[in-house]
Amino acid sequence: MALLKKINHKAQTDKNSGFGVNANSYGGRFVNKDGTPNIEKRGMHLFRRISWYHTMIDMPNWKFMSILFIFYIVLNFIFALIYYAIGIEHLDGIEQSQSVLTQFGQAYFFSAQTFTTVGYGHISPTGFLTSALSAAEALIGLLSFAIATGLFFGRFSKPTAFLKFADNALISPYGENKGLMIRLVPFKNTNFTDATAKVTLAMSLEENGVQTNKFYSLELELEKINALSLSWTLVHPITEDSPLYNFSEEDFKKMQGEIFVFITTFDNMYSNTVAARTSYTFREITYGAKFETMYDRSKNGSKTILHLDKLNHYQKVNF
């Protein structure tokens, strides 16, 4: 109850957060650092509750390439086993006097040539079963490469907000009071315009003996900027109207809370609106610090240099 009294009840709660108020139904944070909901879906078969297209589009590059490579190797291995089971004598060009391992290796590479429709001609199928199998494999190969090409195009053409958030939010001096500071930066050669930010505070509080989730929209000094070319520090002034007005450094350590950050901006390259999200738990908020400037003038004064490696740089200050 002592912590509940810290909340500024003048602040209006946000009823459009999209999250439930029953705190006992939630585990961990609401939103992961990468902006995805911290939710695991169950109660339905895996193949019905997962969109494989979205999964393949969103996964990291190394994992995507690994899956394609493993799929290619395993599928050709299976076809090579079937060719070998039908009989090596039905693959014209493989000598019967060779070792079993050599014969299987040549069957494997015949499968790879058929799958890719390269067909060097050194080995050719004879007999109905082997010919039918090679025809089916060629069709599967064409369909597989069509799907892979579509996935490659989808991954490269997907509008993405190349925005990076600082690892920690800060409570910094702001005028005569304090302010919540959240910094982000565009880190690729993109051109963003009309950037809009929304920040929501979530806290789990005990109210009348029941653990309840409370959500508050945090007013920002600037909610929209015309161009997002340099770093942008979102500032929530902690005034008498802020739900964080009475909070001390110890309160941030004791209370369970989270800050959601939502950014939408227009990407001129894609001519489309893109979005980025992240969150900060109270433990990821540094009290009594301010961000260091990320940009300065070039030596000849002709350009502004944006130092991306300084995104997380801050210095401690006293209030």
Q: Is the pLDDT of residue 1 over 50?
A: no
From the candidate CATH numbers 2.60.40.1400, 3.40.50.10320, 3.40.190.10, 3.40.50.150, the one assigned to the domain spanning 160-316? 2.60.40.1400
The pLDDT score that the predictor gives to residue 44 is 86
Half-sphere exposure of 179 (CA within 13 A, CB side): 18
Tell me if the domain spanning 52-157 has CATH number 1.10.287.70.
yes
Return the DSSP state at 98: S
Q: What is the mean pLDDT of residues 209-214?
A: 79
Q: Give the mean model confidence (pLDDT) for residues 146-167.
A: 93
Which tokens hold the place of 25?
Answer: 């139904």
Instruction: Please state the domain extents for the chain.
Output: 52-157, 160-316
Tokens matching residue 276: 């980025």
Q: Which of 65-69, 120-124, 154-158, 242-246 has the highest mean pLDDT?
A: 65-69
Contact between residue 230 and residue 152 where contact means Cβ atoms under 8 Å apart? no
Q: What pLDDT, on the 0 to 100 scale, is given for residue 254?
A: 85
* Each residue's pLDDT tens digit, 61-119: 999 999 999 999 999 999 999 999 999 899 998 888 888 999 999 999 999 999 998 88
6 band by pLDDT with thresholds 50, 70 and 90: low
Buried b (16+ CB within 10 A) or exposed e, 149-170: eebeeeeeeeeebebbbbebbb
How many whole angstroms separate alpha carbon 262 and alpha carbon 13?
18
pLDDT at 20: 73
| Structure tokens given for 192 | 């963003």
Above 60 in pLDDT, residue 3? no
User: Of 276, 260, 293, 292, nearest to 190 (Cα)?
Assistant: 276
Encoded tokens for 139: 């069709």
Q: How many residues does the chain have?
A: 319
- State the pairing for strand pair 257-267/232-238: unpaired
Contact 38, 32 (CB under 8 A): yes
Q: What is the pLDDT of residues 40-63, one digit of tens each?
A: 888 888 788 888 899 999 999 999
Strands 192-207 and 210-218: antiparallel
Lowest mean pLDDT among 95-104, 144-153, 184-193, 259-268: 95-104
Average pLDDT, the chain: 89
Phi, psi of 317 (to 5 degrees): -135, 160
pLDDT (mean) for 161-169: 95
- Looking at residue 9, its pLDDT comes to 53
84-93 pLDDT, tens digit per residue, is 999 989 999 8
- Three-state DSSP class for residue 313: coil
Check whether 226 has a pLDDT greater than 90.
yes
Q: Average the pLDDT over each of 8-12, 32-36, 170-174, 290-294 and give the range with the smallest value.
A: 8-12
**CA atoms of 298 and 318, how far apart (whole Å):** 31
- Specify the pLDDT at position 10: 54
Give the pLDDT of residue 95. 84
Cα–Cα distance measured from residue 37 to residue 174, given in angstroms and rounded to the nearest whole number: 31
Over range 165-184, report the average pLDDT: 94
State how far the alpha carbon of 108 is from the alpha carbons of 77, 112, 116, in Å.
6, 6, 12
